[in-house]
Amino acid sequence: MAMGSSSVFQSWGLFSPLTPSKTKPTPQFIVKAQSPLTQNNNSPAVSKQRRPADENIRDEARRNNVSHRDHLFSAKYVPFNADPSSTESYSLDEIVYRSQSGGLLDVQHDMEALKRFDGEYWRSLFDSRVGKTTWPYGSGVWSKKEWVLPEIDGDDIVSAFEGNSNLFWAERFGKQFLGMNDLWVKHCGISHTGSFKDLGMTVLVSQVNRLRKMNRPVVGVGCASTGDTSAALSAYCASAGIPSIVFLPANRISMAQLVQPIANGAFVLSIDTDFDGCMQLIREVTAELPIYLANSLNSLRLEGQKTAAIEILQQFDWQVPDWVIVPGGNLGNIYAFYKGFRMCHELGLVDRVPRLVCAQAANANPLYLYFKSGWKEFKAVKASTTFASAIQIGDPVSIDRAVLALKNCDGIVEEATEEELMDAMAQADSTGMFICPHTGVALTALVKLRNRGIIKPTDRTVVVSTAHGLKFTQSKIDYHSKNIRDMASRFANPPLQVKADFGSVMDVLKKYLQSKAPKH
Ligand SMILES: Cc1ncc(COP(=O)(O)O)c(C=O)c1O
Ligand SMILES: N[C@@H](CCOP(=O)(O)O)C(=O)O
């Protein structure tokens, strides 16, 4: 089959760059993949015919054999940051979370196979899939399937068409508070369950779905959580009919987060300890029972989360921002972003990797302290209560992953006090956002790095917003009612109680309009 010759693949927004399956594709054959938008002068690729009424999108994908060529690519578990001479590896179909030495694992892709296609090929392929309803590529995660779980069958995928989240130009916040003109917020929280965890969970639950079909011993899937992992796990499991079990630190997560797994039918354990205590328990339990571990200790999750980094590059037409700021807790996500950027660089989609900043709450700052020590000594901390409750983590499982990521991109770690993060959240909200406190932590890091002149006014900077603000309304209510001890709540905007009569309403409105009138 000649490259680009099959109208079936073109109509699916796919290229058909393959030689017959027994022949290895030759590089010169492959690198000439055409963009679907340039194939036919100005006309887009052949339009897709409406599927028969009795067929669903999964059936349609099967009939069109959309992932027929994914056997060219493969991935396996290897020890994280292993010595190149190491031969230890595991199939993704094995149930394994740790290396023989007890260290972390990483999903390693067959980069040589991926490199048979050039950067332009991958850019065009990914671009051709954005915003479609084609199963499974309509998902921002599965639109990068070859780089995520290349070998999984489309039939096993559990997806809510997650990803493709808004990259918001923070024009007013940037200009007013930072003198910046190229500031962006990647709204990963505007998502199926309201956080970036959906990106990882679609991958993990899809693999579990596959394992169960293979009769592997997986009865349920479990996690410890500060509220977002549990929401995502329970939703994806519910959608696939798989039992989910969540360990939550009692009274330490928001009401909205608590109700999510309850509503989705998870088995919810509210445990009288903090997140680190729950994490320890779930690790022990998953070693004994047929419960698959869904926390980011499981490196599968990060394969989905890394697609947010690829998406950012894609949204900038494959130009690399100068800075990307990510709030960090268990520290899987900062590594996932690094991995996404690094793959794009290594496979020729972009020419460099941006500098990363990991932002922590000062009340839960073990990475910050480690960074400040010049990476000399890591000490877990006892994390105290923070409004950024989803990152109240003192003993992050992905500490080694985070350090590798930050060292390799000349990264920085910053911290935010409770007052700083709440003020930053309120200021951002006052410019039309509605962010979560964790994004307030990331914005505080940005403010500090701008004030120190490290981030320049014209630097293209992306702040990663990790959860939806609606999950954290109580913190906003407390702030705006000036109800927080030892906090000035400088940007509070409490509602005004007014009598129900015309005169009183007119009086307050006139005063308000006067205060807002342009001053000449
Ligand atoms: C809303 C939110 N932001 C940030 C994080 C931090 O991500 P990570 O644990 O991967 O560092 C988490 C979870 O930990 C989260 O739920
Ligand atoms: N914020 C997380 C904490 C657990 O992180 P994970 O990425 O290791 O699952 C949560 O929402 O539970």
- Residue 181, number of CB atoms within 10 A of its CB: 13
Distance (Å) of CA 469 to CA 191, 282, 429, 434, 487 = 12, 28, 9, 5, 20
Residue 449 phi/psi, 5° resolution? -75, -30
The full DSSP string for 351-388 is: S---EEEEEEEGGG-HHHHHHHTTS-------PPP-SS
User: Which residue has the CA at smallest separation from atom 1 of ligand 2?
Assistant: 390
Number of H helices, E strands in the chain: 20, 13
Q: How far apart are CA 296 and CA 300, in angstroms?
A: 8
Q: Which of 283, 347, 326, 337 has the alpha carbon at shortest distance from 126?
A: 347
> What is the predicted pLDDT for the residue at 48?
65
Please tell me the pTM assigned to this model.
0.92
- Residue 11, number of CB atoms within 10 A of its CB: 16
> What is the predicted pLDDT for the residue at 6?
34
Nearest ligand, CA 275: 2
Q: Ligand 2 center to residue 207 CA distance, Å?
A: 19
Q: Ligand 2 center to residue 212 CA distance, Å?
A: 24
Contacts 24+ apart (CB under 8 A), 39-43: 39/4, 39/10
Question: Side by side, which strands form the sheet with 412-416?
Answer: 167-169, 183-187, 461-465, 323-327, 355-361, 412-416
| Residue 323, beta-bridge partner list | 355, 461
Show the tokens assigned to 380.
């877990």
Nearest ligand, CA 337: 1
Q: Which residue has the tokens 């039918």?
A: 265
User: Which residue has the CA at smallest separation from atom 15 of ligand 1?
Assistant: 390
Q: How far apart are CA 276 and CA 48, in angstroms?
A: 50
Show the tokens assigned to 508.
């307050």
Contacts of 279 by beta carbon, 8 Å cutoff, 6+ apart: 224, 295, 330, 395, 397
Q: How far apart are CA 475 and CA 435, in angstroms?
A: 11
Show the tokens assigned to 382.
């006892």
Q: Is the CB of 367 under 6 A from ligand 1?
A: no
DSSP label at residue 196 = T
CA 327 to ligand 1: nearest atom: 4
Show the tokens assigned to 83.
């010595």
Q: Which helix (H) or strand (E) holds 270?
A: strand 267-271
pLDDT digit string (tens) for the chain, length 520 residues: 223 333 322 333 334 433 333 333 333 333 333 333 333 333 344 566 789 999 999 999 998 877 656 689 999 999 999 999 999 999 999 999 999 999 999 999 999 999 999 999 999 999 999 989 999 999 999 999 999 999 999 999 999 999 999 999 999 999 999 999 999 999 999 999 999 999 999 999 999 999 999 999 999 999 999 999 999 999 999 999 999 999 999 999 999 999 999 999 999 999 999 999 999 999 999 999 999 999 999 999 999 999 999 999 999 999 999 999 999 999 999 999 999 999 999 999 999 999 999 999 999 999 999 999 999 999 999 999 999 999 999 999 999 999 999 999 999 999 999 999 999 999 999 999 999 999 999 999 999 999 999 999 999 999 999 999 999 999 999 999 999 999 999 999 999 999 999 999 999 999 999 999 998 7
Can you give 492-504 as a three-state secondary structure string?
CCCCCCCCCCHHH
Distance (Å) of CA 1 to CA 5, 20, 48, 122 = 7, 6, 21, 20
Nearest ligand, CA 196: 1
Q: Ligand 2 center to residue 96 CA distance, Å?
A: 19
Residue to mutate (ligand 1; options 186, 330, 367; most atoms within 8 A of CB): 330
Q: Is the CB of 438 under 6 A from ligand 1?
A: yes
pLDDT in tens, 383-416: 999 999 999 999 999 999 999 999 999 999 999 9
For residue 253, the one-letter residue type is I
> What is the predicted pLDDT for the residue at 49?
78
pLDDT in tens, 141-160: 999 999 999 999 999 999 99
**Reported ipTM:** 0.99
Q: How far apart are CA 119 and CA 490, in angstroms?
A: 48
Q: Which of 176, 207, 366, 411 has the alpha carbon at shortest distance from 276?
A: 366
Q: Is the CB of 469 under 6 A from ligand 1?
A: no
Q: Is the CB of 398 under 6 A from ligand 2?
A: no
Nearest ligand, CA 252: 2
Q: How far apart are CA 361 and CA 393, in angstroms?
A: 10
